[in-house]
């Protein structure tokens, strides 16, 4: 069952969302959902409980999309969904393990059944494993590639039937500037693969009216990037990336959200197969 949170005040929208929560039958839903609600686009954001996922969701929600925060930590995703305010569109929390085909299929089936459509997939879920090639663990390599690379493939594969029916849609894969610069081999190899997957999706899904692009951040200060670092190394990292940028600043989660929202908007209808570096110019810097 979908875990739904909304700040809508319109009675019709409240009725619509009540149906998601199991308070109405499917027949009652079909009788009362307005055309506007049916035509509102639907986005799934994986890694939806994290800082980047939430920032992306805010940008999409601001633009009027229903947003599903999909994450392994369903409780955390539900807590973040409950924080959304100011729009009629719904924000939902759903559990998913993007590394598992059955979990991905179940997510897409639940969302598709509730809304009748899926328009946007933002593949943001990721794991980070640091280490040099000489001492990396094979299990870490396999896990990172299951989540960071196979996960986006599984998500897109599962949503293709909706795009085929709708003849429209958008994919945004969250890559990284390190696909250019190099870095920890486990993470870099997976993110370089994401760029390749994005370009393949652009050519394959284009005839369906689907665009596929990647957003490549640099370092963004979040719990994800701080994990495993003490205060001193964290401050050194902040200083390093600030100095690396021609703009003299560090990318923030909202910067990533705005880029994703642009790429799935009508303004970007002619853009596909691209990698948009959102990293304050640090894609120009060496490792």
- Summarize the confidence of residues 220-246 as an average pLDDT: 73
For residue 183, report the phi and psi dihedrals to the nearest 5 degrees.
155, -150
Per-residue confidence band for 44, with pLDDT thresholds at 50, 70 and 90: very high
- Summarize the confidence of residues 88-93 as an average pLDDT: 94
- Summarize the confidence of residues 23-33 as an average pLDDT: 37
pLDDT, residue 161, reads 98
The DSSP symbol for 282 reads G
How many Å is the Cα radius of gyration of the chain? Answer: 19
pLDDT in tens, 97-124: 999 999 999 999 999 999 999 999 999 9
Asked if residue 56 has pLDDT above 80, the reply is yes
Asked if residue 27 has pLDDT above 60, the reply is no
> Which of these is catalytic: 186, 187, 216, 250?
187
Q: What is the pTM of this model?
A: 0.85
Buried b (16+ CB within 10 A) or exposed e, 37-61: beebbbbbbbbbbbbbbbbbbbbbb
pLDDT, residue 226, reads 59
Return mean pLDDT, the chain: 85
* CA torsion through residues 265, 280, 147, 236, sign: negative
What is the DSSP code string of 206-233? GGGTEEEEEEEE----SHHHHTT--HHH
Pairing of β 66-71 and β 169-174: unpaired
Q: For the beta carbon of residue 168, count every other beta carbon within 10 angstroms.
A: 15
Per-residue confidence band for 61, with pLDDT thresholds at 50, 70 and 90: very high
| Contact residues for 87 (Cβ-Cβ < 8 A; gap 6+) | 7, 8, 61, 62, 64
pLDDT in tens, 167-213: 999 999 999 988 887 788 999 999 999 999 999 999 999 999 999 99
Q: Please, how many CA atoms are within 13 Å of residue 153, restricted to the half-sphere of its CB?
A: 17
- 20 is known as an active-site residue: no
What percent of the chain has a predicted confidence (pLDDT) above 70?
83
């Amino acid at each position: 069952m979908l875990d739904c949170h909304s700040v809508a005040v319109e009675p019709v929208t409240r009725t619509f969302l009540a149906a998601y929560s199991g308070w109405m039958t499917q027949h009652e839903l079909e009788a009362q959902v307005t055309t506007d609600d049916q035509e509102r686009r639907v986005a799934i954001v994986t890694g939806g409980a994290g800082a980047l996922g939430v920032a992306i969701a805010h940008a999409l929600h601001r633009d009027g999309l229903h947003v599903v925060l999909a994450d392994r930590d369903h409780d955390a995703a539900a807590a973040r969904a409950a924080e959304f305010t100011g729009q009629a569109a719904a924000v939902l929390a759903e559990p998913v393990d993007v590394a598992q085909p059955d979990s991905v299929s179940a997510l897409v089936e639940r969302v598709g059944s509730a809304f009748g459509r899926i328009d946007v997939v933002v593949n943001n879920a990721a794991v980070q494993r640091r280490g040099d090639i000489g001492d990396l663990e094979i299990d870490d390599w396999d896990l990172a590639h299951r989540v960071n690379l196979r996960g986006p493939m599984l998500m897109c594969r599962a949503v293709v039937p909706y795009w085929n029916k709708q003849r429209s849609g958008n994919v945004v894969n969250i890559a990284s500037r390190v696909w250019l610069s190099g870095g920890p081999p486990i993470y870099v190899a997976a993110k370089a693969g994401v760029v390749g997957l994005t370009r393949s999706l652009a050519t394959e899904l284009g005839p369906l009216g689907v665009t596929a692009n990647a957003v490549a951040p640099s370092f963004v200060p979040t719990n994800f990037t701080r994990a495993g670092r003490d205060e001193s190394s964290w401050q050194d990292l902040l200083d390093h990336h600030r100095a690396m940028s021609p703009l003299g600043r560090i990318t923030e989660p909202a910067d990533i959200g705005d880029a994703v929202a642009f790429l799935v908007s009508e303004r970007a209808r002619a853009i596909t197969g691209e990698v948009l570096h959102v990293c304050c110019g640090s894609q120009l810097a060496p490792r």
